[in-house]
Structure 1
């Protein structure tokens, strides 16, 4: 069930980073800002990632959330592909229960045709939204998280164009794709925050990305499941793990905490059924979290890394050592687009990552 027999694209750590670094983008929209500003910041951030030697730039799919403008990853990735030349681009992830596998294969086959050898297709089994919105997205009954393994298998078949004879989809082709002579296919990943996708990724011999940033208590058990279940495939000879983590680096520790609090308050409101724009640092800092809100927040703020760049990178190093991650993927749900760009600059500087590179456009 692998997509390609080519060597898995691995990066090498740049500067003093222990492993390659990547970015997971939510294209957050803060109070007083617009979706356009958020998306233009994503363009700036992708170019920065490429010029500083980061490995990947992934976009997360969420729906009906005013503070997140990444509802259409494939559209954003097509735009970013036009403004970069070497950076790997992908979904972190496409929430497969929301989509017909053929549609996803067509979208990411198109991206692969536009940016050959640079496209990752990360797949998740959660809807990335509430139940009513999920129903509106798919408009079909009976397809949910439990159908995920079969949906993944079907999607991979479409990407490879290799349904067996007599299969009802044998004469259906995902275009662009192999039927047109497209040589490569997107690199398929599984995403997860529990053991289900971890075990499935291992059984399929696929790389695995774990959402440590909102399920830190499950990180080590899930990685143990993944590594224990791993079966070498034509794509991947040994397990490959990416850890997603919130990281906020400021010019000083106070500003980093202020920006982290904006994401924390936005999360509290989302989990209590009141999604909205990301609040300002002033509003977040003045907010008195009730005991109920702290319970809703869970361990979000405890597991977010925030402080000066040196403090954040020290914690990233410790996380990598503790988990044995092959790659760290940094995420940031904060009010200010300028802060997000500057934060990643500071982290790259702290790791002595190269300045300048292949960014275009």
Structure 2
């Protein structure tokens, strides 16, 4: 399997493009992180059995309701409980980490799950400024984002083990990695995880296009920027050893339930959670009852109404229609669905109903 094959997936059933899963490992009120991680395993197994193409987890910090602060650890756990589905980060926030550390972590994941690991990279901190400073042990928070292209180039050099002779890092090797295949008696495959760039604006879109890398856009929280970013990516694209044509994935919030009212009840929990996060009160994902009884102020109600416009929810047929429309409007090559709700059973049911609506294999 070559690099292009590892990135591109085949549409199955009646889905217009491959469908994938973005898992935030959300923790609901009255639940624990252990519960959330067990749900992640259940979702990955379901996604694998129903023909979803990938299962990615996202790096977030200092958010009680999101237990995905360590993507590499979670992915290793998911790799042990799945066999075929691609696993990856959506994403690892590169400025928070030394490139060599990421290369080692994802080289280890590739050794655990050969040929099915993706390395998605973001340039945001995945948290607030104070937490980012604690992660980076530095007060220069903007330095990491500004240095992103240089950090990316260094990371790719470590992954490929190809620093030029004379470079300060030319004798440093990310292990597991290609150096093992070139060592005396080495038999390890030199393959490495494909690198994706993630973004919610134009910076990473342009960089991904210029480098000929696949691009994942966060439509689920930056819908107004989706079309401009995708246009910029496609216009900037230059063929590479990785891709001969652009490949754009978009993350989309979608939740299906057996009836419209129940879907609305469930997505309101995610909306209230976002209200609290945006107003400096992050917490666990509230229950549907708590969300229904919450007295939204005028500005909060305006935010919720705007937020829910970008969450595709309802019956399975309604969600399918919404996803199909989004695909037509964006021309995305893949749709990565995130289902945010209080209960893990609700999220599992949603992915199952969406698979049914598209005739994915049971």
> Into which bin does the TM-score normalised by the smaller protein fall?
over 0.9
Q: SS where residue 175 of structure 2 aligns?
A: coil
Correspondences of 1:252-271 after superposition (within 5 Å)? 252-271=259-278
Give the whole-Å Cα distance in 2 for the aligned partners of 1:338 and 1:48. 12
Deviation at 1:347, TM superposition (A): 0.5
Alignment partner of 1:351 is 2:351: no
Alignment partner of 1:14 is 2:12: yes
Q: SS where residue 299 of structure 1 aligns?
A: helix
Counterpart residue number, 1:359: none
Counterpart residue number, 1:311: 318
Q: SS where residue 221 of structure 2 aligns?
A: coil
RMSD: 1.3
> How many residues are matched?
352
Checking the alignment, whether the CA contact within 8 Å between 1:63 and 1:129 is kept in structure 2 is yes
Alignment partner of 1:245 is 2:252: yes
Give the whole-Å Cα distance in 1 for the aligned partners of 2:295 and 2:321. 30
Counterpart residue number, 1:173: 173
Q: SS where residue 75 of structure 1 aligns?
A: helix
Q: SS where residue 264 of structure 1 aligns?
A: helix
Deviation at 1:298, TM superposition (A): 7.7
Match of 1:196 among 177, 196, 203: 203
Checking the alignment, whether the CA contact within 8 Å between 1:260 and 1:334 is kept in structure 2 is yes
Taking structure 1 as reference, are residues 206 and 317 closer, same or farther at Cα in structure 2, changes over 3 Å only? Answer: same
1:137-188 Cα offsets, whole Å, 9 max, x none, are: 1213544211111111111010001111111111111110011124210110
Counterpart residue number, 1:68: 66
Give the whole-Å Cα distance in 2 for the aligned partners of 1:289 and 1:98. 35
Counterpart residue number, 2:194: 187
Checking the alignment, whether the CA contact within 8 Å between 1:249 and 1:307 is kept in structure 2 is yes
Give the whole-Å Cα distance in 1 for the aligned partners of 2:172 and 2:327. 43
Checking the alignment, whether the CA contact within 8 Å between 1:272 and 1:296 is kept in structure 2 is no
Deviation at 1:297, TM superposition (A): 5.0
Match of 1:299 among 295, 299, 306: 306
Counterpart residue number, 1:88: 86
Counterpart residue number, 1:282: 289
Counterpart residue number, 1:146: 146
Counterpart residue number, 1:164: 164
Deviation at 1:292, TM superposition (A): 2.5
Taking structure 1 as reference, are residues 237 and 130 closer, same or farther at Cα in structure 2, changes over 3 Å only? Answer: same
Deviation at 1:296, TM superposition (A): 5.1
Unaligned runs of 5+ in 1: 356-361
Give the whole-Å Cα distance in 1 for the aligned partners of 2:117 and 2:306. 32
Give the whole-Å Cα distance in 2 for the aligned partners of 1:44 and 1:5. 28
Give the whole-Å Cα distance in 1 for the aligned partners of 2:8 and 2:97. 29
Give the whole-Å Cα distance in 2 for the aligned partners of 1:156 and 1:80. 24
Give the whole-Å Cα distance in 2 for the aligned partners of 1:132 and 1:141. 9
Correspondences of 1:51-130 after superposition (within 5 Å)? 51-130=49-128
Checking the alignment, whether the CA contact within 8 Å between 2:220 and 2:253 is kept in structure 1 is yes
Give the whole-Å Cα distance in 2 for the aligned partners of 1:297 and 1:146. 32
Q: Which moved further from structure 2: 291-300 or 204-213?
A: 291-300
Tell which has more relative contact order, 1 or 2 (C-alpha 8 A, sep 6+).
Answer: 1
Deviation at 1:342, TM superposition (A): 0.6
Deviation at 1:242, TM superposition (A): 0.4
Deviation at 1:13, TM superposition (A): 1.0
1:97-137 Cα offsets, whole Å, 9 max, x none, are: 11111100000000001111100000000000011111111
Taking structure 1 as reference, are residues 7 and 344 closer, same or farther at Cα in structure 2, changes over 3 Å only? Answer: closer
TM-score normalised over the length of structure 1: 0.95
Give the whole-Å Cα distance in 1 for the aligned partners of 2:22 and 2:305. 21
1:2-43 Cα offsets, whole Å, 9 max, x none, are: xx8664432111111111000000010000111111110000
Counterpart residue number, 2:223: 216
